[in-house]
Amino acid sequence: MTTWVEPEGGRERGLLGLAKAFTQVVVNPRTFFREAVSPGDQAPGLAFGIAVVLVEESIRLALAPDAALALPASTPIRITLTVALAALLVAPAALHALSAIQTLALAALAPDRGGVSETVQVLAYASAPCVAAGVHVPAVRVVVGLWGFCLLVAGTRIVHDTTYPRALLAAAIPGALAFGYGFRWFGATVRVFPWLADVLPWVHV
């Protein structure tokens, strides 16, 4: 039987650890969340979330260079700075802020919940499918965004030992912010289903 947890606790570090984490959370998320999320060991999860954003933004800006920050520099430099800002500054800050929001929700919904560290890891690993969100195909963004949110709900249920309805409630706001806005799921959904623009005008992003 393959083990996904290092003997000393937590996940394997480095590029191999990132690759293993990505494969397992996509292929067998129930086992992954049950075995690989460890209390107080959020560093691998944080690195995973940064890596996802790094890949996603690199793909997005490689396909649409004009979307890079408007800086007085050449296009490659603007792209590099935009990717670095998103991956190294925005992603970690957003991950911790959204984890705090979900922790507050869990405090009311799951008395026997895990800690903030576990929530950070669940949010980070749930973003795995969103490596493909940088592709400028709205249908792809719709699929990976919904997939990521489902992983977030499943991971919340398993790691925090609660029910699916409570996990859904706890994940609703951070999931909407992370996947709906962060990975542009709302905007892609409106493009795939234009009638939603009239029903839910706030999804324009």
Confidence bin at 61 (pLDDT 50/70/90): very high
Determine, yes or no, domain membership for 168: yes
Determine, yes or no, domain membership for 6: no
Q: What is the mean pLDDT of residues 22-37?
A: 94
Confidence bin at 28 (pLDDT 50/70/90): very high
Determine, yes or no, domain membership for 1: no
Confidence bin at 11 (pLDDT 50/70/90): low
Predicted local distance difference test score (pLDDT) of residue 110: 81
pLDDT reading at 204 higher than 70: no
Determine, yes or no, domain membership for 9: no
- Number of domains present in the structure of the chain: 1
Predicted local distance difference test score (pLDDT) of residue 12: 67
pLDDT reading at 112 higher than 80: no
Phi, psi of 99 (to 5 degrees): -65, -35
Residues 152 and 64: their CA atoms lie apart, in Å, by 29
pLDDT reading at 54 higher than 90: yes
Dihedral sign, Cα of residue 9, residue 13, residue 16, residue 20 = positive
Q: What is the mean pLDDT of residues 8-25?
A: 79
Residue 179 near residue 149 (C-beta atoms within 8 A): yes
Determine, yes or no, domain membership for 21: yes
Structure-model confidence comparison of residues 204 and 179, the more confident one: 179
Residue of 102, 91, 113 whose CA lies nearest to 182: 91
Predicted local distance difference test score (pLDDT) of residue 203: 63
Confidence bin at 126 (pLDDT 50/70/90): very high
Range of the domain at 48: 14-203
Q: How many other CB atoms are found less than 10 A from the CB of residue 204?
A: 10
Residue 154 near residue 29 (C-beta atoms within 8 A): yes
Residues 193 and 43: their CA atoms lie apart, in Å, by 38
Q: What is the mean pLDDT of residues 74-100?
A: 95
Residues 189 and 145: their CA atoms lie apart, in Å, by 10
